[in-house]
Structures are given as C-alpha cells and as structure tokens.
Copies of this chain bind each other. A is one copy, B any other.
Amino acid sequence: MKNEISIGLLGLGTVGSGVATILQQHQQDLHHKLGVPVSIKKVLIKNENKERFSTLDPSVFTTNAQEILNDPSIDIIVEVMGGIEEAKQAIEHALRAGKQVVTANKDVMAEYGHELLKLADAKKCDLFYEASVAGGIPIIRTLEDGLASDRISSLMGIVNGTTNFILTKMKQENMSYEVALAEATRLGYAEADPSADVDGVDAARKMVILSSLAFSTEVHLSDVLVRGMKEIRDGDMDLAEGFGYTMKMVGSSKKNQDGIEVAVEPVFLANSHLLASVNNEFNAVYIYGDAVGETMLYGPGAGSLPTATSVVSDIIAACRNLLLEVNGKRLHAAQHDRVIKSANHRYAKYFHRLLVKDEVGVLSNLTAIYSNHNASLQSVKQHPAGNEGMAEIILLTHSISRQQHLDVIEDLKDIASVISHYRIEGDESA
C-alpha cells in the first residue's frame, strides 16, 4: 500500500487556489481519514511573476505542464486550468500515463467527456468531474451512486448561476436586464464576456454532462435546443407574475420510449414548483426517478470554495481508490444507444404574447390559427398596447407539442407581431 499521495495541480486560479487552501487547512483531517499524508507536489502556473495569496511553497510552482504530467511520483492530476484543447490534452496525457484525474472543466467534459471516460476505463484510471456541474452540489455522485438503483425519467435544473442571479434581481428589485448584468459582473458572478451564460450555452454544456450520465448515453451539445435570455422582452416578467409563474432559465432533459430530448431556455415556471424559489446565484437540479419520485439538490453553482470542495471530494475518492488499488473500477450503467429526439416532440403549455391591430375580427382570425393546428387555448387576454390602434394579446395554450407551437407562431406572423413566447413548466395542470 502507498505511504503517501502526491497531487499535481494544473492551474492556480479561483478554483485552484480554493483547492490548495482546503487541502492545506484539512491536511491533518485528511491524513487521519486516509491513513497517509496527501500533499500538493507541483502546481502549474501561467505567470511566474504574479503575486499570489497562497501559502504554498514557491518551489512547487512551474510554468511547464510536462514537468507535472511526466513526474512518475505524482499520483493524481487535478485539472483546474480551464480552456478546452490544452486542458483536454493534459487530461489525456495524464490518463495515458496511468494517473488518476480530477477535473472541474465542464467545457472539456461536455465536448470530450465520452472519449475521455472511455480512455479512463481502458487505462483503469479514475476520471472524476463532480465540480464540472453545479459547483458545490454533489449531483454527479448522486446520479452515479445514490440513484444507482433507480431509472431516471427526467431532469430539470437551474444550472447557471449568472442568469439566475440576473433574473432574480430583475424580478425582486425591478432592475433592467442591463443593470442586473452589471451588478452580476461587479460581484464576479458574470464574466467580462457573459455571452456563454446569457445565451444559454454554459447551461447547455452542463445539461449535456448530466443527461449523458442520467440516461447512460451520449448526448452532444448540438442535440440541445437552446434559447438565451435575449428572447426576454420588457414586461414579460410582470406578465409571468400575473399568471402565477416565475421566469427562470431552465435546463430540462426528458427520456421516453422514443428517445431523449434536451432543452435550455427561459420558461414560465409555476410558483408552486420548488425550483421557482431558487434565487440569486444558487443552482438546483430536480431529478425524477421511476422509484424515488421527485428529488432536488440545491446549492452554490460556482465560487472558489464551493467548487473546490467538490474537487477535494473527488480527490479523496481517488485517494481512497488508490489506497485500495481499485481505481477505474467505477460501476457503469449499460450504455444505451444514442437516440436523441428533437425537442419539437415535447408537450407543454405555452405562453404567446402578440401585438395586433385592434380591429374587428382580429381575435377570431387569431384563434382560428390555433384551431387549424389543433392547439386548444386555456385563456386569452387582450389589453390596449402603448401604440395607438394596437392591442396586446396574451394567449395561454393547453398542452401542445413544440411543433404545434412553432407552427402556430409561424402562421401568426401573417397577422400579428409575436413579441415573445415561452414554454410553461411545473404547472400541475400542464
């Protein structure tokens, strides 16, 4: 049995310094728990001259990744450098060298996860990635272990803290999108270029990782239907509230006999649904299992220490496997054939907001379009629009397929201007 475990840390940014801090603070605990000391042997940094608030001995720093990846005394590679290609190559290199790997990199796992997990299997190495989705929430472990005996039928999650923070501020403090985004940037919840967050791509990557695991199949980013926050129009949030809904960016993934459908988009979520109460930068994932029914995990989606906590949990799991000499023996569910359905098959209630000329017969012309597509309506509300001679019409449908919804929207464009439209979620009557 090994008498010490050495870690090579690739990256000393927000998450990397959190990992270093936790490992140092818990050194004694870890030694006690594992029976052997665990230490950081080398750390990859980008810039030698940058001042660091880390208590690591500067002799561990290197700017050369190969020096870490090729060090035979290093047992576990912790990849927290970010980026895609370079990080992917480092993980690949580490696995080929028979090292255990822990990564927090959702971009790499969404893009190359299937390939890398297969390589890890072949090399009998651990590849853990708890921190790649919903930073402080043990969602990967829960899907892998906790619900190992259940068949998961769907997932629904708020998996992007930036957009959830912005939507919360817009709702609770009546901020405009721009002001809320500026506030998110100021607090460090949004990056300088927030497009991956607000366009839904970040959430889509996380849904790729979660769906692949939950349904034991390969889901790719191109499989995900994505609508970003830019679809939200002034007044939409108030309208949502008026009907008893909360606007949330929701990632959802459903499995049925025909296949899997995955979407990320702003939706109207029923206030009575627990996810509607998930506010600010918090994340939460709702899991529907055949046997267990509904469960939800809630917690911080990002941040240095929460994410680092997940990384360290993975490091501990890898250490334990090293000591027991059982790395790479993770149980795998049978991989199912890839059957991805277009999200257009999915049934839901929809909210449509239209601007029309306020003239005789317009309502009957509108509703005729719904009838033509067999889409039945739950409610219709009309009120004068700001522009003279125009009216705003709000229509809520009963449950229809996304295809019906799209067909209706297409036909509506002939006689109305479509201000906005949303799927409705969590409504028991849906």
Contacts and interface: CB of A to CB of B under 8 A. Distances in A.
A329 interface: yes
A326 interface: yes
B29 A334 contact: yes
A292 B317 contact: no
A380 interface: no
Given A33-B333, A277-B274, A333-B29, A136 B295 contact: yes
A411 to B, nearest CB: 39
Interface string A259-275: 00000000000000010
Interface in A146-184: 146-150
Contacts of A221: none
Interface of A: 18, 22, 26, 29-30, 32-34, 130, 136-138, 141-142, 145-150, 274, 277-278, 282, 284, 289, 291-300, 303, 305-306, 308-310, 312-313, 315-317, 320, 324, 326, 329, 331-334
Nearest to A277: B277
Contact of A149 (B293, B299, B309): B309
A72 B265 CA distance: 56
A297 B147 CA distance: 13
Contacts of A289: 309
A244 to B, nearest CB: 14
Given A141-B141, A326-B324, A149 B34 contact: no
Contacts of A292: 136, 299-300, 305-306, 309-310
A334 B147 contact: no
Contact of A320 (B130, B310, B331): B331
A305 B299 CA distance: 26
Given A300-B293, A320-B331, A331-B34, A147 B313 contact: yes
A311 to B, nearest CB: 8
A317 B296 CA distance: 22
Contacts of A332: 33
Nearest to A140: B146
B297 A296 contact: yes
Given A293-B303, A295-B299, A303-B293, A150 B309 contact: yes
Nearest to A306: B292
A323 B334 CA distance: 18
A299 B137 CA distance: 15
A139 to B, nearest CB: 9
Nearest to A329: B324
A149 B291 contact: no
A320 to B, nearest CB: 6
A291 B305 contact: yes
